[in-house]
Amino acid sequence: MTARDLHGWIVYLFAAYNQRLDDTVIDAYAEELRDVPPAELEAGVKRAIRESPHYVPSAGQVLEAVKAGREAAASPPYVPCGQCADGWLEVEPARNVIVGHNRAGHAVVSRIAPTVKRCECWLAWKRQGQPTPAINESKSIPRTATSEKVAQFKRRMVGQERTR
C-alpha cells in the first residue's frame, strides 16, 4: 500500500464526522495504521465508524475494528436451522391485552410485542465463533472528545509523556 492510500482512508475517516484534520494528526494515525493490510483497512475504517457514531475513532479503535473484522471473517458463516427466524425463536406471539375500560365500557386493548429468544443454532454458532485470544492487547484510547484525542496525538508527536 502506498502512503497515499493509507492517508486517503484517514481523511475518509475524519470526513465521516465532518472533521478537518491537519498533517500532524494524519501522521499520527498513519504511524499506528501503517501495518494494516490494505485489504483490511477499508473494512476496518468503516466498522470503526459504525461502532463510534459520535466521535472520531482513535487509531487504536480502528485497529480494534480491523481485528474484529478479521475474526469475523475467520469464523464460519451462520446458517439458520430452518426452525427459527435468523436465530430468533418466538416464545410468545404478539398479542392483545386488555389494559382497562373506557367510560363507555369498551375494553382498551394494548398490543404486546412478541417475546423472542435466541435459537440453539445461533447459540452453537456463537460458541463456535468465539474469537481466539488477542494477539496483542488493545492499544485503544478510551472514547473521549475528539479535540482531546487530537491533543493526545499531538503531545505524543512532540515526544511528551502520554497522560494515560
* Identity of the residue, 16 or 84, whose beta carbon is nearer to Zn ion in the bound complex: 84
Q: Is 138 exposed, middle or buried (0-12, 13-18, 19+ CB in 10 A)?
A: exposed
From the CB of residue 42, how many other CB atoms can be counted at a distance below 10 Å? Answer: 16
Q: Is 116 in the site for Zn ion (CB under 5 A)?
A: no
For Zn ion (CB under 5 A), the number of binding residues is: 4
- DSSP three-state, residue 47: helix
* Identity of the residue, 81 or 99, whose beta carbon is nearer to Zn ion in the bound complex: 81
* Identity of the residue, 30 or 89, whose beta carbon is nearer to Zn ion in the bound complex: 89
Pick from 36, 48, 49, 119: which binds Zn ion (CB under 5 A)? 119
Pick from 6, 121, 146, 149: which binds Zn ion (CB under 5 A)? 121
The least distance separating Zn ion from the CB of residue 117, rounded to whole angstroms, comes to: 11
What are the start-end ranges of the E strands in 9-158?
A: 88-92, 95-101, 107-112, 115-118
Pick from 15, 73, 74, 81: which binds Zn ion (CB under 5 A)? 81
Q: Are 30 and 63 in contact (CB under 8 A)?
A: no
The least distance separating Zn ion from the CB of residue 102, rounded to whole angstroms, comes to: 42
Q: Is 79 in the site for Zn ion (CB under 5 A)?
A: no
Alpha-carbon gap, residue 92 to 95, rounded angstroms: 8
From the CB of residue 59, how many other CB atoms can be counted at a distance below 10 Å? Answer: 23
Report which secondary-structure segment, H or E, holds 134. none
By CB under 5 A, the residues from 12 to 41 that bind Zn ion are none
* Identity of the residue, 38 or 114, whose beta carbon is nearer to Zn ion in the bound complex: 114
**Maximum separation of any 2 CA atoms in the chain, in Å:** 77
Contact residues for Zn ion, defined by CB under 5 A: 81, 84, 119, 121
